[in-house]
Chains A and B, each alone.
Chain A
Amino acid sequence: MIPFILILASALCVKGVINKTRARLAGRKGCRFFQPLLTVGVLLGKGEIYSTSSTWLTRVAPAVYLASALAAALLLPLGVFPAVVSFDGDFILFAYLLAFGKLALVLAAMESGSSFQGMGSAREVLFSMLVEPCFFLLVGTLAMVTGCGSFSAIFAKFDNMSVNLLMLSLILAYGFLNVALVENGRVPVDDTRTHLELTMVHEAMVLDLSGVDLAFVQMGSWLKLSIWGMLAVNALIPARTTGWPLILWFAAAMTAYGAVIGLIESLMARNRMTKNATYLVTVSAIGLLGFTVAFVLMTSGL
């Protein structure tokens, strides 16, 4: 239960960390730390406007999106703290739960019948398709190194304190960070703050949502941000830590995760849309690199 609560708690903060980092690097004071929460609070008090071309799908989809992110969060452990639900192959369910939420959101977007939403959906599914092999390869690497079949068992057993595996741990964390950037629509794949609809990916999909629906989608996005962060954190935290030190490690690593995203967003420009495919294949190559390194380490008798 502890990892789940930690994910929920960090979901409320990561966005603030990113904003603060970005503001500080730009020499601004920045908005309040919990400003995203206040924005969503305002949205929760508003009513929705639905497109004339929409059906029940648009009304249900945001709730399904949030619920599926929450269900995926149930499957994540933190080091030796096991996940709420855990079974052999739970990472497959994890990937498909997030895909299910995405499917719901894509269909809701396409219901609006606008080309912006169509554009956003097409890009979103294309990018997540290209990054999916990376996620599975990274998890496959972990499964190979530990010989286990579920997230909880893998991260409880993943011993990154030996010299060889420390390197692997860094590659994995970097890989998960990249998957997180793509799945959450952050720079360099997508820019959440872009003002031009033609260059939007994730934001274009939710253009026609309003009120409570938009609030649900925002909350789902926070959750996804910290879910993917949780994977990177799990790869990084030292093995065999437990109790309060583990929670402190988590807090430190999660803050670092937010700070790194903020840093990337301050220092890098968004890719040209046509270059994204190449970039994403490179991300998958990181997964393959991790896998190959682990394979060589395993066969050379480690």
Chain B
Amino acid sequence: MTIGDIFPFLTLGSLLVFAAPGTRFKGITAAVVIAAGAVVAVIAGVTAIVLPEATGGSTGWLPGLDALGGVFALAVAVSGTACAVYAVGYMPGHAKGKSGAQTGLHFASLVTLFYSMLGVVRATDAYGFLFWWELMTLSSFVLVMFDAQRKEVLHAAAGYLVLMHIGFFMLLGGFAATEGGTAFFAGQGMTVPAFLLLLAGFGMKAGIFPLHMWLPVAHPAAPSHVSALMSGVMIKMGVYGILRAALALTPEALAAMGALIFALGAVTAVFGIARAAVQTDLKRLLAYSSVENIGIVSIGIGLGTLGRSMGSDFIAYAGFGGALLHVLGHANYKTMLFLGAGSVVAAAHHRDMNRLGGLMRRMPVTGTLFLLATLAICTAPGLVGFTSEFVLFDGLFGAVARGELVAASAAGIVALALTGGLTLMTFTKAFGITFLGNPRSCAARDAREANATMLAAQALPLAGILAGTLLYPYLVLENADALFGARYYAVPTIDTMITVEWIMGGLALFSGLLLGLKRWLNRRASAVPLRRPTWGCAFTVPSKRMQYTASSYNRELQTMWGERGAERQVRELAEEEIFPAGHTFSTEDKDSTARAVTRWFAGGLRRWTARLALFQTGKTNHYVLHALVLLILILVLSLCGAL
């Protein structure tokens, strides 16, 4: 059964959106078109993974989709549907004052982004791939700059567009380089120079250190469902490219490139989460956490490549398998976290956690969903986040136990352990400061629960978070042969995960018993428990401003590194007034690495263009001379037969 090409779908869907009246109906149209594609993508993805030989080539549900693409198509489908449904509930409130054409363009871009990601994972030649890749960049650019009336949004979107095109040219170079394009799609014969270009180009999209600078700027600027889609799956397209390029490497290049990806991944993971831990802006925190997760995935890809170079099936299996599981899991919980953050921003009008708080009692469903995603990202056993980390850790420990790659594995273990600890710190802060305690601003105090559509959309990835613990290992690890050609079945991970589920079930049951015991012990007390204000050290007038804030939570972490480069303080005082009335004070986070990279690049560009300015004298006679020289040059060259 063939659905044929998906391109008609796409054009049809994008145009349908413009025809629909009103923001809500535009949103519903976009959601329906995306959901239709998602159903096809899920079926096609799962069949491509489970029955790779039956669907190879052009006979499957989605022509060109192979097993590896199927994994990513699955991630795109779940996140895409959740984000599209969320937009239906979110946009009518967010798009006030926008014209129908503007919202239409937004939803059309959303549809385009979704289908272009599906296009990327099923492209079978360089032209098709780059076409969908560019369409993905452009549509996400349009989505990011929806609120372009705000200066920082415009700035973020322009920066994003420029960086993505630098990345695009690197990809172009990588595909044009010897064996680059053919090797990428044939899955063998990738040379080192082509791979390095592709790594830089894909790394730019994925946000690998030090090319991550667009993520923490673009994600807070974009509407939340867009950040969710971009962070949940679009950056994974970069991972898809790296993974495919790494799998195509020539045998002699495997060891060096594997070590490179592994090291980059370890640095990205620790750097990303260390940056995330000190953020006070909720969405920027999530963006940096995405950088970290891309790092973890890269550790997996690097480990797998190293395993391949040594011919160790076990290490390759654990590395690539862990990476793919992490891609699927992260797509689920990061989508949920960003959508939750979107509901928070919509309800409390602040992204700064220092102005939030106490939302758990005002938005109980949003809060509970955010809590579940927090548990998943903190790798609570029994949820999907644990599965991928377990496979990666197991691979690293297994390598150590087998005496292979000992030093690298130990470094990986330390990096993953530090990342795990910092994730706990980051997300107890993200959830604790935002949802627990008491509100730190009037807007947070007056926050109301998000509407049903938004809640339903936020709950959608929950299926993946809960079922994925067993389903994803089945899909990825049991079909490891088709996905990355490594086989290792000493103890199937799925059996281990079933054991973990049993233990967690027992834990839940025992907690329930303890709660029952507590009720029995309290049987003589009144049914309604005693409620008193929090003990404030006998302070008589405790204020909500005295709570621990997001800044104070990471204070000790910052002092540990030294104050330098931590944050920049902005004071705005009205100078012309004799008696200054109002003034604002804010601290702004400073990412010195991203800044240094940008400055280095921009500085170099400026220096080179300054040299070229030699020809720009401003005198007409000089310009005429230039034209004359050019004409003579053309004449001479064509006489010599060079042109």
Contact = CB atoms under 8 A, between A and B. Distances in A.
Given A85-B499, A197-B537, A147 B547 contact: no
A106 interface: yes
Interface in A232-284: 273-274, 277, 284
A87 B496 contact: yes
A292 to B, nearest CB: 9
A274 B380 contact: no
A6 interface: no
Main secondary structure of the interface of B (DSSP, over half): helix
A92 B510 CA distance: 21
Nearest to A292: B410
Interface stretch (A9-17, A64-72, A169-177, A185-193): A64-72
B559 interface: yes
Contact of B413 (A114, A117, A121, A140): A140
B453 interface: no
Contact of A125 (B357, B414, B424, B431): B424
A118 B401 contact: no
B535 A114 contact: yes
Given A52-B534, A110-B428, A137 B413 contact: yes
Interface string B538-554: 00001010111000111
Interface in A38-54: 44-45, 47-53
Given A49-B532, A96-B386, A115 B547 contact: yes
A225 interface: no
Interface string B353-378: 00001101100100000010001001
A295 B410 CA distance: 11
Interface residues of A, number: 81
B331 interface: no
A59 B436 CA distance: 14
A277 B410 CA distance: 22
Interface string A280-296: 00001000000100010
Given A71-B503, A113-B544, A139 B535 contact: no
B258 to A, nearest CB: 20
Interface string A79-114: 000000101110111001101101100110011111
A148 interface: yes
A89 B394 CA distance: 6
B437 interface: yes
B530 to A, nearest CB: 5
Contacts of A231: none
Chain A CB within 10 A, most for which of B360, B380, B495, B511: B511
A149 to B, nearest CB: 6
B102 interface: no
A63 B436 contact: no
Given A96-B379, A113-B357, A132 B421 contact: yes
Interface string B554-583: 111101100000000000000000000000
A52 B437 CA distance: 9
Chain A CB within 10 A, most for which of B358, B400, B531, B542: B400
Main secondary structure of the interface of A (DSSP, over half): helix
A87 B379 contact: no
Chain B CB within 10 A, most for which of A92, A107, A115: A92
A161 interface: no
B433 interface: yes
A155 interface: no
A140 B436 CA distance: 37
Given A47-B530, A52-B532, A140 B437 contact: no
A58 B555 CA distance: 25
Contacts of A284: 414
A92 B529 contact: no
A25 interface: no
A119 B556 CA distance: 10
Chain A CB within 10 A, most for which of B380, B403, B414: B414
Interface string B510-538: 11101101100110010001111111110
B380 A103 contact: yes
B511 A63 contact: yes
A110 B437 contact: yes
A109 to B, nearest CB: 8
B390 interface: yes
A88 B393 CA distance: 11
8 contacts: A99-B379, A99-B420, A113-B544, A128-B421, A144-B406, A147-B402, A212-B518, A216-B518
Given A71-B507, A110-B432, 13 more contacts: A44-B521, A57-B371, A59-B515, A63-B518, A99-B424, A102-B424, A111-B436, A111-B437, A113-B438, A113-B544, A118-B437, A129-B420, A208-B534
Interface of B: 357-358, 360-361, 364, 371, 375, 378-381, 386, 389-390, 393-394, 396-398, 400-403, 406-407, 409-410, 413-414, 416-418, 420-422, 424-425, 428-429, 431-433, 436-438, 490-491, 495-496, 499-500, 503-504, 506-508, 510-512, 514-515, 517-518, 521-522, 525, 529-537, 542, 544, 546-548, 552-557, 559-560
